[in-house]
Amino acid sequence: MRARVFVPPAMLWAIVIAAAPLAIAEPVSPKQVVAAGRAPVRRLNRREYENTLRDLLDLPGLAIRDMLPEDGRAHGFDKSAAGLDVSPVHIAAYRSAVANLSG
């Protein structure tokens, strides 16, 4: 049985918000982003999110990657902004995974 850790609600929301970057921003084409000299915004992939929570909460045995939806791929990579969209399904899964940490 996996041990549960109490995480204050304020910290939970900070983590959820950090994991759901700018889902409401107006979409722009990759050409517009490149022309402006900016890198596109992307969310953390499952592995990055798990590692971030592990580091922030100091939980070396944390394993939540399997609770999250599969990451999209673009050009063979799972870290590309083109493959890491944010949907209501992603938001719900990320919130559920964090809620499971606090019991």
- Over its length of 103 residues, how does the chain's per-residue pLDDT go in tens digits? 455 656 666 665 566 555 554 444 556 676 776 677 776 677 788 888 888 888 888 888 888 889 888 888 888 877 777 787 778 888 888 888 888 876 5
Q: What pLDDT does residue 24 have?
A: 47
Q: What pLDDT does residue 16 have?
A: 59
3 is a domain residue: no
SS3 74: strand
What residue numbers bound the domain in which 30 lies?
9-102
41 is a domain residue: yes
Count up the domains in the chain and report the number.
1
What the block records as the tokens of 103 is: 């019991």
Cβ atoms 97, 2 nearer than 8 A: no
Cβ atoms 47, 65 nearer than 8 A: yes
Q: What pLDDT does residue 15 have?
A: 61
Cβ atoms 49, 94 nearer than 8 A: yes
Q: What pLDDT does residue 74 have?
A: 83
59 is a domain residue: yes
Beta-carbon contacts of residue 94 (< 8 Å; ≥ 6 apart): 16, 19, 20, 49, 68
Q: What pLDDT does residue 9 have?
A: 61
State pTM to two decimals. 0.61
Q: What pLDDT does residue 52 have?
A: 86
39 is a domain residue: yes
